[in-house]
Structure 1
Amino acid sequence: MSGIDIRHSHSLPHTKARKAVEEVAKKLAERFEIEYEWDGDDLHFNRSGVDGKIALKPKELHVTAKLGFFVSAFKGPIEHEIQRVLDERFS
């Protein structure tokens, strides 16, 4: 099983960072048809072949995901899209 592990620093206040993470999740939901929900400051997302989370910390986001066999073929484009959206929302 393949995985994604991205750390992205930020300097936003908690409320704005949380809103930005929500916007990231909406973009990913549109692009990759994922479902997501908050559990405290962790946003969990999943779909067939993908199970992951975005952990919101005071100065950093930590995105982790486990990719199933078929989805792992798209690891590169998925990581690129996540990084692009994070750069867009948190830079």
Structure 2
Amino acid sequence: MSNIDIHHPHSKTPAQARKAVEDVAKKLAERFDMAYEWEGDTLTFKRSGVDGHITVQPEQLHVTAHLGFLLSAMKGPIESEIRRVLDERFT
């Protein structure tokens, strides 16, 4: 199993950050059949081969994901895409 661990700064209010995370999660759910739910300020997500969470903190997001065996080989591209989306939505 391979892990992704990203800390990304943001300047949004907690409500704005939460909405942006929710918007991204909805798109991922539609595109990749991913289930997600909020647990306080943390959005947890899961689908075959990956599970993780995005925690909305003041001035920072913390993204972690655990990749299964097959997706471990694609860790680099997956992590790059996560960083690209974070830059797009939160910078």
Q: What is the TM-score normalised by the length of structure 1?
A: 0.91
**Which runs of structure 2 are paired with 1:11-90 in the superposition (5 Å)?**
11-90=11-90
For residues 29-56 of structure 1, what are the alpha-carbon distances to aligned partners after superposition, in whole Å with 9 as ceiling and x for unaligned? 3443321111110000011111100011
- Mapped to 2, the partners of 1:4 and 1:28 lie a distance apart of 17
Structure 1 unmatched ranges of 5 or more = none
Report the AA paired with residue 26 of structure 1. K
For residues 5-43 of structure 1, what are the alpha-carbon distances to aligned partners after superposition, in whole Å with 9 as ceiling and x for unaligned? 011000101110100111121233344332111111000
- Mapped to 1, the partners of 2:26 and 2:8 lie a distance apart of 18
Structure 1 runs, 4 residues or longer, greater than 6 Å off: none
Structure 2 unmatched ranges of 5 or more = none
Q: How far apart are residue 71 of structure 1 and its match?
A: 1.1
Relative distance call for 1:28 and 1:70 in structure 2 (3 A) is same
Identical counterparts, % of pairs: 68
- Give the number of aligned pairs: 91
